Amino acid sequence: MMVSSISLDVQLFYWIFEGWRADWLTPIMIFFSDALKTLPGRVGAVLLWGYLLWRGGKARAFALWLIPVLILTNETCDFLKAWVGRERPCVALPIEALTGKLTSGSFPSAHAANMSALVGTATAVWGRRALLWLFWLPLMVGLSRVYVGVHYPSDVAAGWLLGWLYGWGGVRLALWAWRHTRNIAGYTCGMPRNKAIYIGVLVVAASALLYIGGQIIRTIEWFLPWAAGVGVALILIGLFVEAQKSRKPKPIASDTAATHQGTPIGAEEKR
């Protein structure tokens, strides 16, 4: 049974890698596969993230949730790749990948997982409408990784599942815990106002982006985990301050108190 499932996975790989090959489709698949590996792609992603953060509301909530979700998703993929130790098809099979040979682990696909986590987070924040608008993104990225020859279909399917668990499942679970901890009735995406939280998220995001580009800036790579730690500490401090503020009773408005104090007891009873 195991042998037949592996054989099916390889057959599906060749069906996409060779059967789908077309001159007009190849540049499209290479774009979806490697767009975020280029400097323009990374700059565009950072600018888009900054715009969502600046816009506020649910867009800001999505931008802030996205950072820890993607970090957890990507780190889990790296751990599973090292643990499973599966060779990529461009190493195990007699083929040449369209985007160059990669020797790191194959299972699961981090590209597919990250895109699925992104769409899952958007769905947790905006609802099913986001899924209907964005479902094509992880689909195209995942298929492109098979098309260029660096992943098996099962790698991509596992990445989609893992990313969705972190994106949709993780955010929904965190919102449920936050709602029940603070006794908030109903689902809400309201964001705390403490600036330390946002500064911490920005530090963590900058650290993560710099770490991804560590091949270019290896001279300061040692500093990035410490910077990320400072960012996490600022987030925790901000959340603690917010929790303390929420426990304080709200003062009665002065005009309301004056109205009650100036109303005769008899008049209050007549009301």
Could you read off the pLDDT tens digit of each residue along the chain, which spans 271 residues? 444 556 888 889 999 988 888 889 989 999 998 888 888 888 888 888 888 888 888 888 898 888 888 888 888 898 888 888 888 988 888 888 888 777 788 889 999 999 999 999 999 999 889 889 999 999 999 999 999 989 999 999 999 999 998 999 888 888 777 776 655 444 454 555 566 666 666 666 666 665 555 544 455 555 666 667 777 777 777 777 777 776 666 665 555 544 445 544 444 444 4
Are 182 and 216 members of one domain?
Answer: no
Residue 269 included in any domain: no
Residue 265 included in any domain: no
pTM above 0.75, yes or no: no
Are 52 and 121 members of one domain?
Answer: yes
Q: Any idea which residue has 């769905």 for tokens?
A: 123
Please say whether the dihedral angle defined by the alpha carbons of residues 213, 217, 221 and 223, taken in this order, is positive or negative.
Answer: negative
**Residue range of the domain that includes 22:** 17-189
Within 56-164, residue ranges assigned H as helices are 57-84, 89-92, 110-126, 128-134, 136-147, 153-164
Structurally, how many domains does the chain consist of?
2
Are 158 and 238 members of one domain?
Answer: no
* Contact between 157 and 221 (Cβ < 8 Å): no
Are 36 and 169 members of one domain?
Answer: yes
Residue 6 included in any domain: no
